[in-house]
């Protein structure tokens, strides 16, 4: 099956691939707006550069050469790779307080071997290795990362267990069946996970985690993540996944594990495991491009220049994931937004490094909010790909139908164009500082007098008395990116009132395949800069029985405010083939049309 257009949630994931079973949500909920950088298959190059070369110095990585080791466990230091000498300037909870936070969650790591495999051949002493990787508080270890990105409010808590080293949160289980040598396997459909849970019962008192005593172990009560000793080539799906339903009644107990997460045995750096736990524990979703400044996007794979993966001392892959962006911190409950309704000058935005002072501004725009936060090249956020030597800036996110980082110059640049493409975004268009995108407007708001970057930035928010109105419409659909093989990009083209727009089917990804999956959107452009899909209110009518326009599903993305709908272009093999067809589109009193050419058979 060609899955280019139907697995948009994977596009934010890099070489290892990743996904969350719960990401699917409404079918292709992010299909409308997700980023243009989608590779045709996230798993395509999986494991490239991740040789399972046993024998690499195993434990050299995480604990010994941690750059920020001195900050480990230190309250006030932000647990951080301390940048300036101002570590104690900001108030941080202690690690103990973080562990006691209401969001902190018990986690059990299960190292899963087959009857004929041994994870210890990849990574000597895998139990302490994984325990430190996930629960450790040094640079490059899981709880150090969470301490920093949660402002000291969230920790992974070692599950009580008696397997191997007791209570380190990691157990080892050996299955009765050998590792498969060919084919691919949907992990949750095999005997592996149920058998592993039944065996784990010998060293884990699962019922003790069922705090609600409803017989179900929810993720919030105990999150179980399996480390599979199974080559990626044998897996049907992504190399890592969270929120996978299993609903297994653990033999000899009266409790059922609802869901599990899994990673591969050679994902021995925090990026992918913490990304999956972000899905699994905090319910976080992938976001639209550019996503390389967030754990729930490409930022999961960022590299620390010093730290390496545990099993490969030459690989830095995913050792310094970027923190969460502000909307994910809101979704996780780490911060409450500061709602602004009137002109306010001299507002202060505190960056994550300021601990408890960190804040996010929330400004009303059409059917949603514009959120503003300050981020600096500090701690894990040193992995934010700032441009031109910048060290920080204000990041706006436009949250209406999608939680979209805002292309600041694009607010005024794109609407007047008859057509435009969005190939690779330029990341420095997505933040502001003095002298760089230092003034812009969206909705009734003008952001101006943005200061130089730093732990505290200031800005003015000036509100105009305007009633936003739609001035025009554009069609939006995927086309082949001619400059990057295997990639697609968004194409936007004007939809004129009572006019007709030619659209060449041959430019669609897999546009020569009559059985392919194709979508199109109609978007409204407001005179105040907002762009919103009107698919929910639109009517699409084809003049040929060979071409049908299906309104697939209506949905509201998690954390979003306005509904959207997938509009699918489908070709009907039972009807007579035509090479060209006209589609009429209306929304309210607005009428337009497009003509598809080069329709395949």
Which residues sit at the interface with Zn ion, rule CB under 5 A? 18, 20
Nearer residue to Zn ion within complex by CB, 15 or 18: 18
Instruction: CB nearer to Zn ion: give 7 or 156.
Output: 7
Q: How far is the CB of 185 from Zn ion (least distance, A)?
A: 20
Among 367, 383, 287, 267, CA closest to 329 = 287
Name the residue nearer to Zn ion (CB basis): 383 or 533. 383
How far is it, in rounded angstroms, from Cα 436 to Cα 415? 21
Q: Which residue is nearest to Zn ion (CB)?
A: 18
Q: Give the shortest CB-238-to-Zn ion separation in angstroms.
A: 8
Q: How far is the CB of 284 from Zn ion (least distance, A)?
A: 9
Q: How far is the CB of 286 from Zn ion (least distance, A)?
A: 6
Q: Are 252 and 197 in contact (CB under 8 A)?
A: no
Q: Residue 388: what are its φ and ψ, rounded to 5°?
A: 50, 35
- Picking from 227, 27, 268, the residue whose alpha carbon sits closest to that of residue 109 is 227
Q: Kindly tell me which of 5 and 261 has the beta carbon lying closer to Zn ion.
A: 261
Contact criterion met (CB below 8 Å) for 585 and 492? no
Closest CB 17 distance from Zn ion, rounded Å: 9
Cα distances from 339 to residues 8, 163, 363, 371, 468, in angstroms, run 32, 49, 6, 9, 20
Distance between CA atoms of 32 and 13, rounded to whole angstroms?
18
Cα 44 to Cα 42: distance, rounded to the nearest angstrom:
5
Helical ranges in 9-125 per DSSP H: 95-100
Cβ closer to Zn ion: 240 or 366? 240
Torsion of the alpha carbons at 547, 553, 558 and 563, rounded to the nearest 10: 90
Measured from the CB atom, is 242 or 397 closer to Zn ion?
Answer: 242
Nearer to Zn ion, 20 or 223 (CB): 20
Return the H-helix or E-strand segment holding 276: helix 271-282
Minimum distance between the CB of residue 242 and Zn ion, rounded to whole angstroms? 7
Q: Nearer Cβ to Zn ion, position 156 or 238? A: 238
Smaller CB distance to Zn ion: residue 142 or 355?
142
Minimum gap (Å) between residue 275 Cβ and Zn ion: 5
β-pair type (445-448, 440-442): antiparallel
**Least distance to Zn ion, CB of residue 279, Å:** 6
Torsion 563-447-432-339 (CA) sign:
negative
Shorter beta-carbon distance to Zn ion: residue 20 or 62: 20
Q: Minimum CB separation from Zn ion for residue 348, in Å?
A: 33
Q: How far is the CB of 337 from Zn ion (least distance, A)?
A: 24
553: which 2 tokens?
Answer: 């599903």
Angle at 597 between CA 549 and CA 420, to 5 degrees: 85
Residue 167's alpha-carbon distances to 128, 159, 232, 302, in angstroms, are: 11, 6, 29, 30
Task: State which residue, 18 or 255, has the beta carbon closest to Zn ion.
Answer: 18
Helix axes of 126-135 and 142-149: crossing angle, nearest 10 degrees: 10
Task: State the number of CA atoms in the 13 A half-sphere of 472 facing the CB.
Answer: 14
Go through the chain and tell me how many residues it has.
601
State the greatest distance between any 2 C-alpha atoms of the chain, in Å, as a whole number.
74
CA distance 258 to 138: 31
Q: Nearest distance from residue 107's CB to Zn ion, in Å?
A: 17
- Return the ∠ at Cα 391 (arms to 398 and 38), rounded to 5°: 45
């Amino acid at each position: 099956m060609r899955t280019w257009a139907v697995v948009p949630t994977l596009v934010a994931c890099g070489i290892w691939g990743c996904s969350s079973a719960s990401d699917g949500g409404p079918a292709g909920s992010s299909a409308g707006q997700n980023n243009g950088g989608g590779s045709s298959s996230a798993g395509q190059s999986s494991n490239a550069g991740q040789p399972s070369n046993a024998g690499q110095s195993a434990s050299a990585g995480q604990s010994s050469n941690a750059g920020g080791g001195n900050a480990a466990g230190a309250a006030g230091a932000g647990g951080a790779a301390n940048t300036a000498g101002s570590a104690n300037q900001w108030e941080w909870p202690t690690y103990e307080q973080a562990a006691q936070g209401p969001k902190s969650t018990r986690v059990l790591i299960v190292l899963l071997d087959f009857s004929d495999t041994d994870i210890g051949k990849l990574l000597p002493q895998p139990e302490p290795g994984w325990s430190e990787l996930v629960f450790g508080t040094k640079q490059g270890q899981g709880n150090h990362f969470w301490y920093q990105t949660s402002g000291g409010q969230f920790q992974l808590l070692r599950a009580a267990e008696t397997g191997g080293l007791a209570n380190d949160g990691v157990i080892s289980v050996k299955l009765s069946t050998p590792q498969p040598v060919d084919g691919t396997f949907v992990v949750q459909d095999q005997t592996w996970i149920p058998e592993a849970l039944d065996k784990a019962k010998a060293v884990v008192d699962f019922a003790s985690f069922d705090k609600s005593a409803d017989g179900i172990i929810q993720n919030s009560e105990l999150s179980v993540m399996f480390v599979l000793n199974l080559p990626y080539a044998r897996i049907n799906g992504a190399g890592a996944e969270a929120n996978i339903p299993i609903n297994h009644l653990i033999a000899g107990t009266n409790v059922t594990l609802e869901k599990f997460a899994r990673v591969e045995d050679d994902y021995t750096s925090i990026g992918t495991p913490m990304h999956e736990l972000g899905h699994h524990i905090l319910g976080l979703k992938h976001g639209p491009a550019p996503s390389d400044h967030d754990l729930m996007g490409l930022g999961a794979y960022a590299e620390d220049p010093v730290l390496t993966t545990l099993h490969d001392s030459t690989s830095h892959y995913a050792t310094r994931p970027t923190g969460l962006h502000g909307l994910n911190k809101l979704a996780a409950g780490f911060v409450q937004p500061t709602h602004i309704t009137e002109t306010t000058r001299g507002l202060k935005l505190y960056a994550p490094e300021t601990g408890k002072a960190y804040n996010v501004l929330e400004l009303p725009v059409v059917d949603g909010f514009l959120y503003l936060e300050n981020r600096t090249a500090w701690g894990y956020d040193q992995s934010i790909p700032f441009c031109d030597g910048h060290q920080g800036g204000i990041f706006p996110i436009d949250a209406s139908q999608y939680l979209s980082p805002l292309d600041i110059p694009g607010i005024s640049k794109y609407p007047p164009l008859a057509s435009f493409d969005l190939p690779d975004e330029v990341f420095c268009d997505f933040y502001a500082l003095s002298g760089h995108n230092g003034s812009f407007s969206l909705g009734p708001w003008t952001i101006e007098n943005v200061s130089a970057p730093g732990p505290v930035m200031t800005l003015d928010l000036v509100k105009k008395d305007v009633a936003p109105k739609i001035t025009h419409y554009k069609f939006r659909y995927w086309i082949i990116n001619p400059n990057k093989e295997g990639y697609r990009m968004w194409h936007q083209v004007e939809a004129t009132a009572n006019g007709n727009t030619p659209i060449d089917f041959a430019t669609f990804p897999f546009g020569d395949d009559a059985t392919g999956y194709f979508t199109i959107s109609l978007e409204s452009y407001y005179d105040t800069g907002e762009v919103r899909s009107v698919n929910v209110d639109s009517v699409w009518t084809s003049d040929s029985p060979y071409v049908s326009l299906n309104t697939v599903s209506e949905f509201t993305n998690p954390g979003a405010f306005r509904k959207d709908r997938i509009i699918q272009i489908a070709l009907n093999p039972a009807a007579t083939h035509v090479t060209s067809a006209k589609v009429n589109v209306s929304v309210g009193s607005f009428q337009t049309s497009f003509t598809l050419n080069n329709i395949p058979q």
